[in-house]
Amino acid sequence: MKTAGKAAALAAAALMLMQCSCSGKQEIHSQPEQTVISLAWWGNDPRTEYTLEAVQLFQELHPDIKVNCSYSEWSGYEARNRIRMVSDTEADIMLINVGWLDDFSADGTGYYDLSKVSDVLDLSNFPEDALQYGMRGGVLNAIPIAMNAETVYINKTVYEEHGLDVPQTWDDLFAAADVLKKDGIYPLCGASKAVWLYTIAYAEQQTGKSFLDSSGSVAFTPEDIQVMIDFYIRMVNCKVIPKIEDFKKTKVENGTCAGAVAWVSDAINYFGSSIERGDEITAADYTAFSPEESGEGWYEKPATLYAMSKNTAHPEEAALLLDFLLNNREMSLLQGVEKGIPISKAALTCLGEEGMLSGLLYEASTVMDNNTKLREMSPMLENTDLINRFNDAANLALYNKATVDEAAQQFYEACSRSFGTSQAADTYY
């Protein structure tokens, strides 16, 4: 009986491994061996949801590849990314910030050379000038997904209710403040970084100099920094903007602020509620002393990029995933313009065919793309410590704890100690 039982078990096991083919021949089927790769990104719930759905589609197209996903909000992702990069435990494919290229791969060796997988990753969808953003040390370390720039958004409904046109110049904003402040409304507002970059644009136009020199050192003199601080104080005192520490996105949503300086990628994040209640929002030209100067002193950068780990054991499979994320039609439809207007020609064509290239974010991207005076943003301009030091100096003068020239000198000396300064400022026009 024991022998018969063993025979029956073996027969059952054999039947589970064998099926009849159409030709009548018996074939043995087993689960295909899978190559495991990893993907990491940051973002809100909608981004996570469509990315997980896209990964499922990719795995259906490539059943021999399994993708392990890691994701979180920005702050957690950034902190973990730094640990993983220094410990060589980063994901095979990862969403990165452009500043991380200088942090981790200044010489081009910190990430994988994507040109080595160009037989799988279709780079022909990206113009050379876009790919340059991902180059370090002559090595293609990353592919930009979309471009980004601080943009001036105006609630036309509020402005028109007060008899105002969309502002184009600095003077237009101060004139708007004279009208709007009677109803407790600011013409504009912005988070700390946005206001910082806004004051740089004003000062660069005023002085004709670049804030940074070609080496990345601070090129402004104490006198140039005074221009920045003076302008910030004047905007606050004239009710053009609320103080930096008083900024809240809810002031845009409830109409206390009739405009904002924010990234292209933040268009809906800031103005989605206003659009839903029927307000007309527009992406204005970059503020300048005259419309002809619009764009001078303003900067653009990749919104986000994808990079591949230099330690990946499966570069071909990782490249398949990267190509899918950047160029695949189904992925493009899922992502839409959530990360910005895609640079990839394949993705852009797909969105155009489906009528998805419209709305405020697309309008802001068009304003950015059509302006030829925007320059490449140095990661130094987004240095949190630098921005905080400027805010501290500006507040000293704003609250009469120091004169403007004393505050400017303090900021200049802090820059010199921490970042380096140069008296030879680059001119740009």
pLDDT at 370: 95
Q: How far apart are CA 270 and CA 214, in angstroms?
A: 34
Residues 6+ apart with CB under 8 A from 244: 191, 192, 195, 391
Pair 303, 145: CB distance under 8 Å: yes
pLDDT at 309: 98
Name the pTM for this structure: 0.84
pLDDT at 44: 87
Pair 376, 133: CB distance under 8 Å: yes
Torsion angle of the four alpha carbons 240, 245, 249, 251, in this order, in degrees rounded to the nearest 10: -50
Q: What are the angstrom distances between the C-alpha of 252 and each of 98, 165, 285?
A: 28, 18, 19
The low-confidence residues of the chain, meaning pLDDT below 50, are 1-28, 424-429
Q: What are the angstrom distances between the C-alpha of 229 and each of 194, 255, 405?
A: 15, 27, 9
H/E element holding 53? Answer: helix 45-61
pLDDT at 416: 85
pLDDT at 28: 47
Q: How far is CA 129 from the centre of its chain?
A: 17
Sign of torsion over alpha carbons 392, 393, 397, 398:
negative
What letters, b where the CB count within 10 A reaches 16 and e where it falls short, cover 121-160?
Answer: bbbebbeeebbebbbbeebbbbbbbbbbbbbbbbbbbbbe
Query: Helix, strand, coil % (nearest 5) of the chain?
Result: 50, 20, 30
pLDDT at 418: 77
pLDDT at 33: 87
